Structure 1
């Protein structure tokens, strides 16, 4: 892959349902950059924990599973696959069991230490190979890539986020109601923002973008404008 138009790291943080994943993939594609979904990494470790029959609240055993799990996260915005033991588990990690368990698993300090180290390796490789990467999650601007050239914290009304999540679930064949999804959104917000390690919060220098009234093209346009303002976009170089 030749160098694209993005130079450096764009960090997109925020709670679920704000459009982070879709916007991050579109932004990376538009700029010829790499893309990293850090949330998928926590989900695949959570899936490994559940398959091992480990209680997500048992921090010591969760850490053991995280150390031994064989997983990979591709950094291609067009094919961001997640594998566990060599098998694509992209659908499995979005199921309700993983969604319920991912917050306690991701709150385990050793899990975060292991995954942050791996995320930084992926970012370094992407910068060397493609010149730029769009990284999305909940602690990118504050912990994973604090020196990112652009940090954006996406927000949206909880009801709007629940409606988006429910639509995504239905589109993927998963049963969901807006009320149940809203309860889950609020539960995860509370859990992620109050955990002791890497709580969900905007970086001090992040730009906050409310996506409640924006569709995906609108979010993408706003992000591209911010990239231009920061001088992170250069003419594409084919290689």
Structure 2
């Protein structure tokens, strides 16, 4: 079943009025929050492709599937009844009518999602879903900011603007630790390491998101606060649109 957006009444835009921004990056780089803010300020739609893998992971676990059974997980991916909202201020996700926005952020999903995201058959299916969604969202809202791991290189290599959002390991660990545990003390950092460094290492076996590909602009947020990170990305987007 194909993922759909939940705004069928949105007015269509012609292709030459649409802007597609692809943003990749590792965990803790600020990718999701910055992408949502950029989409909001550009007044376009938003797509969190990582949430799609998380939603599939949740769906598989709810159905009692063994995530190491790659064929069964690939079938589940093709059948996944997924609906994605493209509103960057309220990016809701439902699976078979169940809201899963909070559930897919639970630790059990974070610890399991790499087994799904590194399944090549799943990635092939998700790539097609994501390309369809990017087109639908851009048509509905005049553009889209799509973020993930392989958007700049595999899913949308022809995007108008392609950005690798990155940060030092220390900065990424501190950000994610505060998000998950409310602190970046030594204990919290160690509890977070598995979900950041280890997961990135696993995911990097199937997608490259640590080094920018040709034509992709790197934005390092290590020493930037949130507003500065958003502005840095907006500057790249606006320069890219003007150049195009």
Check the 8 A contact 2:18/2:139 in 1, yes or no.
no
1:30 aligns with 2:41: yes
Match of 1:206 in 2: 216
Measure how far apart 1:67 and its partner are.
Answer: 2.0
Q: What residue ranges of structure 1 are gaps of 5+ in the alignment?
A: 234-239
Match of 2:230 in 1: 220
Check the 8 A contact 2:221/2:229 in 1, yes or no.
yes
Counterpart among 100, 103, 106 of residue 117 in structure 2: 106
Check the 8 A contact 1:156/1:212 in 2, yes or no.
yes
Counterpart among 38, 46, 69 of residue 58 in structure 1: 69
Match of 2:193 in 1: 182
Cα separation, 1, equivalents of 2:141 and 2:194: 40
Q: How does 1:143-154 map to 2 (within 5 A)?
A: 143-154=154-165
1:70 aligns with 2:81: yes
Count of paired positions = 225
Cα separation, 1, equivalents of 2:241 and 2:75: 43
Return the TM-score normalized by structure 1: 0.88
Question: Could you say if the C-alpha distance between residues 125 and 79 of structure 1 is closer, same or farther in structure 2, counting changes exceeding 3 Å?
Answer: same
Cα separation, 2, equivalents of 1:141 and 1:131: 19
Measure how far apart 1:69 and its partner are.
Answer: 2.1
Measure how far apart 1:232 and its partner are.
Answer: 5.4
Q: Secondary structure at the match of 1:231?
A: helix
Give the root-mean-square deviation of aligned CA atoms.
1.8
Q: Secondary structure at the match of 1:226?
A: helix
Q: What residue ranges of structure 2 are gaps of 5+ in the alignment?
A: 1-9
1:45 aligns with 2:56: yes
Cα separation, 1, equivalents of 2:201 and 2:181: 25
